[in-house]
Amino acid sequence: MVGSNILFVDNCKTFIENAVNAFSQIGVQYTLCFAESDTEAWSLLQGDHQLSPLPQIMLIDINAEGINGIDLINKIRNNFELKSILIFVISNINNNENKLAALNLNIAGYMSKPFGNEEIISFFSTLNDYWNSIEFSSENK
């Protein structure tokens, strides 16, 4: 999946910086794109600033203030061009209602947000290994 986009929807600048550093340290071969809100993410998926190629993977903190993550995931799952995006929810807030709603929208996983530098590197290294072991559609988007 070299050269593909990953869309990261989170408004925590510290966590985003740590994620970028982790991606660099473990040699992730993807282009990491960021959105700080569900509206900005939707614009990158279907709006005036649409990513090309469309991301095959998305990481989202659905519990972050200012992000209506469940609504965004629902819109993605109801869009023919986007519904195959592999969506991972990462959050430091344990909201069972949002967790159940996200799982019912066929997300790939709901995980606790890591905090320490080594935890973050280990977390993204594990995800990277997973992403590199699965097969994505060969269709160009």
- DSSP count for the chain of H helices, then E strands: 5, 5
Using only C-alpha atoms, what is the Rg of the chain? Answer: 14
- Comparing CA positions, the residue from 71, 79, 78 lying closest to residue 98 is 71
What is the model's pTM? 0.88
CATH code, residues 5-133: 3.40.50.2300
Amino acid at 85: I
- Going by pLDDT thresholds of 50, 70 and 90, the confidence category of residue 65 is confident
CB 29 within 8 Å of CB 60: no
- 7-41 pLDDT, tens digit per residue, is 999 999 998 899 899 989 998 878 889 999 999 99
CB 110 within 8 Å of CB 89: yes
